[in-house]
Amino acid sequence: MNLRRIASLLAWSLLCVIAYSTLSPLDLRPHMGSSVQIERFGAFGLTGLMFAVAYPRRLPSVLAIVLAAAVGLEFMQMLAADRHARLIDLAVKVAGGGCGVAAGWLLVRQWQRSRPEITGINRHAKLRG
């Protein structure tokens, strides 16, 4: 499996875990032990990063998916009896997702910049030996 395929599987899996955590009753929600806002930011940040690495040529769509998931899941909480949608939670999720996509874009860009040097070295090594 290549890196993009693994990132794609992780991205969709993370989105499913976030959906479960967001919509399940509070007592079934997984807790990491840190601040809930840090957990939200980190979850959407990691998801955005994985989507950006998985689909580097579709960054506007990736950003739309991550932000739409944050907005949609937050509004779906209004349907649950023991959950509540709050603007601050939405802001943290959107910020985390946006930062994750930006970090993924930078990571892919850096990888693409360093890759020609590596392939150039390998190509010259084959010519010499």
d(CA 105, CA 99): 10
Question: Is residue 8 helix, strand or coil?
Answer: helix
- What is the number of structural domains in the chain? 1
Q: Which domain holds residue 19?
A: 3-128
Q: What is the mean pLDDT of residues 88-111?
A: 94
pTM of full prediction above 0.75: yes
Give CB contacts under 8 A, 24+ apart, made by 74-80.
74/22, 76/22, 76/23, 77/22, 77/23, 80/23, 80/25
Q: What is the mean pLDDT of residues 87-108?
A: 94
Quickly tell me which residue has 């950003």 as its tokens: 63
pLDDT at 102: 95
pLDDT at 33: 73
Reported as a single tens digit per residue, the pLDDT across 11-39 is: 999 999 999 988 887 777 766 777 888 99
Residues 67 and 18: beta-carbon distance below 8 Å: no
Reported as a single tens digit per residue, the pLDDT across 43-88 is: 999 999 999 999 999 999 999 999 999 999 998 888 877 777 788 9
pLDDT at 27: 72
Reported as a single tens digit per residue, the pLDDT across 116-127 is: 654 444 555 555
pLDDT at 126: 53
